[in-house]
Amino acid sequence: MRILKMQSKFLEEFLESLSKFGVLYGPTWRNGVLTYDRIDNFGDLALVDEHPMIPLKKLLHPKRFDMFQFDEEGFTPDYSLFEKRVVLGVHPCEIHGFLRLDDVFLEEPSDPYYAGLRKDTAIIGFSCLPTENSLCKSTGTDIVEEGFDLFFVDLHEFYLVWVGSSLGHDMVYEREEFFDKTVTHDDIQNYIEWRMDRDGMFKRSFSYWNMPDIMELSYDSEIWEYFGRKCLACGQCTMVCPTCNCYTLTDIFDVTNKVSGRRERVWDSCMFVDYSLVAGDHNFRESRADRLKLWYTHKLKAFGDEYGKPACVGCGRCVETCPVDINVLTVSEALLSGEVPKD
């Protein structure tokens, strides 16, 4: 992997030049909320330490779209959502998030919609400093070594730039005059010092690497009933989680004389009471406690058992959004202590 150096004064002009490779997207403020959106005015790009509340998965695994149209003769796939895109300002935990989605959606047989969007999306990663609820140090997702085309580490007067793909090389060659191929020993020392300073800024942590065994031993714990009584089953935790990928399909028929319509795909949540509802009005996880146990078992144990890496990427969004304080911190702390929390 190649590492280059770029003076900070060249950043904006270089990023603007990337529009040659696709429509620019990135974090931007909309009605007071940070969100990934199309960047039509470059001044709207917000390269900040905070992360958008809805993760990057919304661009690769859209919240709602039509998969295909159908009639009596067959069906026609709808790939109208595909476009060449360059997403700017993507943090390490966010990159780890869609690498987890890769494991799910690109496993054979791959999902053609996710695969098409992933192929058409270039990723320009950026370093960040921990915010109040950052947990990525606990999950080992604070540093990223793959999943990006370019990755910028901000060392104030200059950036160190990791080139992660052949497309990233093409982007560099477009404005080669901005980049210095010589990275000195002092530059590396600056980077090491930045890493050490950043590591000391994390305010919260949890014992992720002990969680698989603790989850196994705590499967029948009363702690799940406690959190189940508190849970509102609103699904916010699943909507903001970078690795949650559940969806539901609905066939929508046209009211005409012949059979025709479209199949729509929409995000779903295992927190919803009807998620596990099947024919005959049977529900395998009718209680909120069972649904919470399913979600946290997946995040803190089962995904890691299958893929060797956590489904939680430590972004802290569940900590920020749950209105009744159920999140990876409170759940892991309760399971680690083995005691039902006291309100």
Asked whether 97 and 55 are in contact (CB, 8 A), the reply is yes
* 76-111 pLDDT tens trace: 999 999 999 999 999 999 999 999 999 999 999 999
Question: Rounded to whole angstroms, how far apart are CA atoms 256 and 273?
Answer: 34
* 292-318 pLDDT tens trace: 999 999 999 999 888 988 899 999 999
E strand residue ranges, the chain:
2-7, 23-30, 33-38, 64-71, 74-77, 85-90, 121-126, 150-154, 158-163, 179-180, 247-253, 260-267, 277-278, 282-283
Q: Is 145 exposed, middle or buried (0-12, 13-18, 19+ CB in 10 A)?
A: exposed
* Residue the block writes with tokens 């698989």: 212
Q: SS3 for 60?
A: helix
Helices 328-337, 288-297: inter-axial angle, 10-degree rounding: 90
CB neighbour burial string for 306-326, b if at least 16 within 10 angstroms, e if fewer: eeebbbbbbbbbbbbebeeeb
Dihedral sign of CA atoms 272, 278, 284, 286 in order? positive
Q: Pick from 196, 219, 231, 245: which is nearest to 297 by CA?
A: 219
Predicted local confidence at residue 155, as pLDDT: 95
Residue 162 corresponds to which tokens in the numbers above? 């990791």
Task: Name the strands in the sheet holding 74-77, side by side, starting at the edge strand that comes first in the sequence.
Answer: 74-77, 64-71, 260-267, 247-253
Q: Which helix (H) or strand (E) holds 112?
A: helix 112-119
Domain ranges of the chain: 2-199, 208-337
Q: SS3 for 21?
A: helix
Question: Rounded to whole angstroms, how far apart are CA atoms 298 and 208?
Answer: 13
196: Cα separation from own chain's centroid: 25
Asked whether 118 and 107 are in contact (CB, 8 A), the reply is no
**Beta pairing, strands 121-126 & 85-90:** parallel
Predicted local confidence at residue 149, as pLDDT: 98
Per-residue pLDDT tens listing for the chain (343 residues):
799 999 999 999 999 999 999 999 999 999 999 999 999 999 999 999 999 999 999 999 999 999 999 988 899 999 999 999 999 999 999 999 999 999 999 999 999 999 999 999 999 999 999 999 999 999 999 999 999 999 999 998 899 999 999 999 999 999 999 999 999 999 999 999 999 999 999 999 998 888 889 988 999 999 999 999 999 999 999 999 999 999 999 999 987 767 899 999 999 999 999 988 888 888 888 899 999 999 999 999 999 888 988 899 999 999 999 999 999 999 999 999 988 888 7
Residue 145 corresponds to which tokens in the numbers above? 């070594």
Q: Which helix (H) or strand (E) holds 78?
A: none
Asked whether 294 and 311 are in contact (CB, 8 A), the reply is no
Helices 288-297, 223-230: inter-axial angle, 10-degree rounding: 110
Total residues belonging to the chain: 343
Question: Rounded to whole angstroms, how far apart are CA atoms 257 and 252?
Answer: 15
